[in-house]
Amino acid sequence: MAVTIQTAQGSIEIANEVIATVVGGATTDIYGIVGMASRKQLKDNLNVLLRKEDYSKGVVVRHEGNDITVEVYTIVSYGTKISEVSRNVQERVKYALESQLSIVADSVNVFVQGVRVLPD
């Protein structure tokens, strides 16, 4: 499904893959995030970090009527405060969606799929 935005000139449809790419890019830029994880870890491989072209596997976009909910599956860095990193993800994702796609997300849910130690 796609998110539809009505304008004076007509309608604009934004595919979920585009939204997932924007959300994934905004998420991976945050300090404390190692990368994106798959929402179906057993099916897609438990230990794999997602690359840019696979961000749609780690982001779920749900829309019911005018309500848009975004779910982000992440892996955080060991030693960071998970609650702070998750809050930063929520704020950055909401801002990125509003500024780049003019989509207002009603909620951004962050799921931490794992904690990894970064090599020195």
Q: What is the pTM of this model?
A: 0.83
Q: What is the pLDDT of residues 25-59, one digit of tens each?
A: 999 899 999 888 877 665 555 556 766 667 778 88
Domain spans of the chain, in order of start:
15-116
What is the tens place of the pLDDT at every residue in 72-119?
A: 999 999 999 999 999 999 999 999 999 999 889 999 999 998 898 876
Give the class (CATH, top level) of 15-116.
Answer: alpha beta
Which residues, other chains included, contact 2 with Cβ-Cβ below 8 Å and sequence gap of 6+?
13, 14, 15, 16
Q: Which pLDDT belongs to residue 65? A: 77
Tokens of 120: 């020195």
CA nearest 19: which of 100, 112, 117, 78? 100
Q: Coil, strand, or helix at residue 79? A: coil
Shortest CA distance to 14 belongs to which of 79, 76, 61? Answer: 61
Q: Per the structure block, which two tokens stand in for 64? A: 């019911």
